[in-house]
């Protein structure tokens, strides 16, 4: 057995351009692994959007309702309507092979009764910034039309 391995290694040493062949083999393996993982990620995204979309939508809807409720309780706000823009592209693969979608807020628009008051605007902006972990320039507050 040891003799056959030695013969095989000697034959391998005599092959011209062995480094090029080895490099091509390694690159082929890397590409094969990359594309197989990429297709797994695509399947996970599709599964997540079909099976997990309800959970994601529930999260987004619940968070919007909570923000709307809290903002309405701020002094001077009155009634408020909230729209939150979500980035749903952050799909994460879990250990078991499943996928979880963790939407991240990327912007918010609030229309409220006290939206024309500068102090109320700032209070709302800072509250929403804290709740959604958003920078203040991504939050807009407008007064309700009468």
| Threshold 0.75, pTM exceeds | no
Instruction: State residue 105's pLDDT score.
Output: 92
The C-alpha atoms of residue 146 and residue 135 are separated, in whole angstroms, by: 29
**Which DSSP string do the residues of 37-63 spell out, in sequence order?**
HHHHHHHHHHHHHHHSHHHHHHHHHHH
Q: Are residues 86 and 44 in the same domain?
A: no
Q: Are residues 131 and 69 in the same domain?
A: yes
Q: Are residues 95 and 36 in the same domain?
A: no
Q: Are residues 31 and 59 in the same domain?
A: no
Q: Are residues 58 and 37 in the same domain?
A: no
Q: Are residues 30 and 69 in the same domain?
A: no
Q: Are residues 57 and 126 in the same domain?
A: yes
In order along the chain (146 residues), what is the average pLDDT of each group of 10 residues? 76 69 66 53 38 67 94 94 86 60 88 94 95 95 90
CATH number, domain of 82, equals 3.30.300.30
Q: Are residues 65 and 30 in the same domain?
A: no
The C-alpha atoms of residue 7 and residue 38 are separated, in whole angstroms, by: 40
* Parent domain of 13: 2-50
Three-state DSSP class for 92?
strand
Q: Are residues 9 and 73 in the same domain?
A: no
Query: What's the total number of domains in the chain?
Result: 2
Walk across the sheet containing 80-87 and list its strands: 80-87, 104-112, 139-143
Instruction: State residue 112's pLDDT score.
Output: 94
Instruction: State residue 129's pLDDT score.
Output: 95
Q: Are residues 117 and 72 in the same domain?
A: yes
Q: Are residues 42 and 90 in the same domain?
A: no
Q: Are residues 36 and 57 in the same domain?
A: no
Position of tokens 């480094």?
Answer: 19
Name 104's Cβ contacts closer than 8 Å, sequence gap at least 6: 86, 87, 90
């Amino acid at each position: 057995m040891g003799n056959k391995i030695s013969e095989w290694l000697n034959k391998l040493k005599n092959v011209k351009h062995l480094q090029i062949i080895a490099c091509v083999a390694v690159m082929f393996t890397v590409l094969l692994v990359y594309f197989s993982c990429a297709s797994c990620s695509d399947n996970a995204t599709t599964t997540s959007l079909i099976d997990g979309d309800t959970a994601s939508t529930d999260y987004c809807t619940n968070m919007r309702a909570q923000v709307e409720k809290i903002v309405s309780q701020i002094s001077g706000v009155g009634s408020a309507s909230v729209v939150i823009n979500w980035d749903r592209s952050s799909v994460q693969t879990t250990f078991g092979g499943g996928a979880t979608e963790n939407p991240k807020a990327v912007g918010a628009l609030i229309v409220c009764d006290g939206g024309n008051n500068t102090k109320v605007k700032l209070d709302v902006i800072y509250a929403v910034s804290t709740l959604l972990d958003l920078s203040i320039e991504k939050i807009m507050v407008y007064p309700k039309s009468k």
